[in-house]
Amino acid sequence: MSLRTAVRLFSAPVRGVLQSSNTNIKRHYAAVEHALSVLETELDGIRAAGTWKGERVITSKQGPHICVDGSRGDILNFCANNYLGLSSHPEVVQAGIDALQQYGAGLSSVRFICGTQSLHKNLEQKLALFHEREDCILYASCFDANAGLFEVLLGPDDAVLSDELNHASIIDGIRLCRAKRFRYKHMDLKDLEEKLRESQSSRLRLVVTDGVFSMDGDVAPLKGICDLAEQYGALVFIDECHATGFLGPRGRGTDELFGVMNRVHIVNSTLGKALGGAAGGYTVGPKALIDLLRQRSRPYLFSNSLPPPVVGCSIRAVELLLASNEIAQSMVAKTMRFRNNMTQAGFTISGTAHPICPVMLGDARLASLMADDMLKLGVYVIGFSFPVVPKGKARIRVQISAAHTDEDIDRTVDAFIQTGRKHGVIS
């Protein structure tokens, strides 16, 4: 056989392989191009609807006064969950620094392997004490706490009864469990009772509600919920992310506000809002439940433990609240000052006497434009629109902090009046 013939015989299958490879590459790129086209169409739809959510860049620490990239001078911040101003409290910050130096940046592991330190146990004990419950378990976030609870607690013979406006993390957590699901109308005790009757054949029944509904500032009718739960033999769960630290005489939350701390069985909450503002969530409740969560809760078992600096900050925040209720009590007057002044100016403010004060506008584009104009006047607020809130119910959610002064509040109201008149919201 000649060399030329041998090369020809050898190269024929190679060319076939290369041609096949080129065809596969072309198909791959075509699939990618098609996927990107689908994504761009979806993004264009969001922009056209006026519901695009841009992210402003803050160049300073969190607080009532911040620096915002692209804006000049001091900006008033009325859009943070930093209800007690503890995210930049000197003692809280120093506690985080001390924890970083003593315990390091992180554990590089999950809790049950080599990710638990004395710091974590200390915080869990203090949170259980704060809420007056038997035990506590920490998570990377309250979203994880909600994702990890229902699947462990409830099985196919059980039922969960959930308020229709509960937080997305609760909805997702319930989806993971196999219990029968009943959704009752928002804060409607009559409808809840009907669902409790329907579910009487279940082994366990759990009534699930936000203590405070974050988009509206509504406070759940917790006493009535507990009355019905006891009447029909159900357990009660509350998500306290927007209540822990400042609702109730001692800031213990919605259950303290209504005098039902001993009638609410399970509480989930966050370290990422009033309690230091960094990250982390937790469940407090009966020790048997907490023990079971440590054995079976997937977000706990498969997520790294909370970083020591976060834990250190949170410990100090809880210690400050255990020592005094002064910060929590300062919230009421400031909240009502803003709500009353805005209502007198002609704005519609949703919710009740809670530091979440949604300025209802309806139109998504209007909410976005007004928020941009407020920033030009030195006030940081954000327009909320679908899918964060229902279509047609866009708003600017204002959040009052204990760190805000009366002057800060009055300046913000004046900016709203100026912007509201410009856009025809008020006369």
- Residue 181's CB is within 10 A of a number of other CB atoms, namely 18
The C-alpha atoms of residue 135 and residue 168 are separated, in whole angstroms, by: 25
Tokens 């259950």 sit at which residue?
255
Give the model's pLDDT for residue 19. 65
The C-alpha atoms of residue 198 and residue 184 are separated, in whole angstroms, by: 12
Give the model's pLDDT for residue 25. 81
Give the pLDDT band of residue 134 (cuts 50, 70, 90): very high
Q: In this predicted model, what pLDDT tens digit does every residue of 410-422 receive, in sequence order?
A: 999 999 999 999 9
Q: In this predicted model, what pLDDT tens digit does every residue of 36-45 receive, in sequence order?
A: 999 999 999 9
Give the pLDDT band of residue 116 (cuts 50, 70, 90): very high
Statement: residue 200 has pLDDT above 80: yes
Active site residues: 214, 242, 273
Q: In this predicted model, what pLDDT tens digit does every residue of 22-32 receive, in sequence order?
A: 778 877 788 88
Give the pLDDT band of residue 112 (cuts 50, 70, 90): very high
Q: 90-322: same fold as 65-83+325-423?
A: no
Give the pLDDT band of residue 163 (cuts 50, 70, 90): very high
Tokens at residue 48, please?
């056209």
The alpha-carbon radius of gyration of the chain (Å, integer) is 26
Least confident window among 249-253, 274-278, 290-294, 327-331: 327-331
Tokens at residue 309, please?
């600096």
- Higher per-residue pLDDT: 29 or 235: 235
Look at residue 47 and give its three-state secondary structure. Answer: helix
Q: Average of pLDDT values for 154-175?
A: 97
- Cα–Cα distances in angstroms (integers) from residue 283 to residues 131, 293, 355, in the given order: 10, 9, 24
The C-alpha atoms of residue 237 and residue 133 are separated, in whole angstroms, by: 13
Tokens 């030329």 sit at which residue?
4
User: Right CATH number for 65-83+325-423 from 3.30.200.20, 3.30.70.270, 3.90.1150.10, 3.30.460.30?
Assistant: 3.90.1150.10
Give the pLDDT band of residue 387 (cuts 50, 70, 90): confident
The C-alpha atoms of residue 236 and residue 297 are separated, in whole angstroms, by: 19
Q: Average of pLDDT values for 367-386?
A: 95
What value, to the nearest 5°, has the Cα angle with vertex 376 and ends 371 and 379? Answer: 65
Element (H, E) at 406: helix 406-422
Locate the domains of the chain by residue range: 65-83+325-423, 90-322
Statement: residue 78 has pLDDT above 90: yes
Q: Average of pLDDT values for 53-61?
A: 89
The C-alpha atoms of residue 309 and residue 121 are separated, in whole angstroms, by: 14
The mean pLDDT value of the chain amounts to 93
Fold adopted by 90-322: Aspartate Aminotransferase; domain 2 (3.40.640)
DSSP 213-264: ETTTTEE--HHHHHHHHHHHT-EEEEE-TTTTTTSSTTS--HHHHTT-TTT-
DSSP 304: B
The C-alpha atoms of residue 356 and residue 152 are separated, in whole angstroms, by: 32
Element (H, E) at 71: none
* C-alpha closest to that of 82 among 394, 323, 317, 342: 317
Statement: residue 330 has pLDDT above 80: yes
Q: Average of pLDDT values for 349-357?
A: 92
Give the model's pLDDT for residue 7. 45
- Higher per-residue pLDDT: 38 or 328: 38
Least confident window among 5-19, 51-65, 240-254, 287-301: 5-19
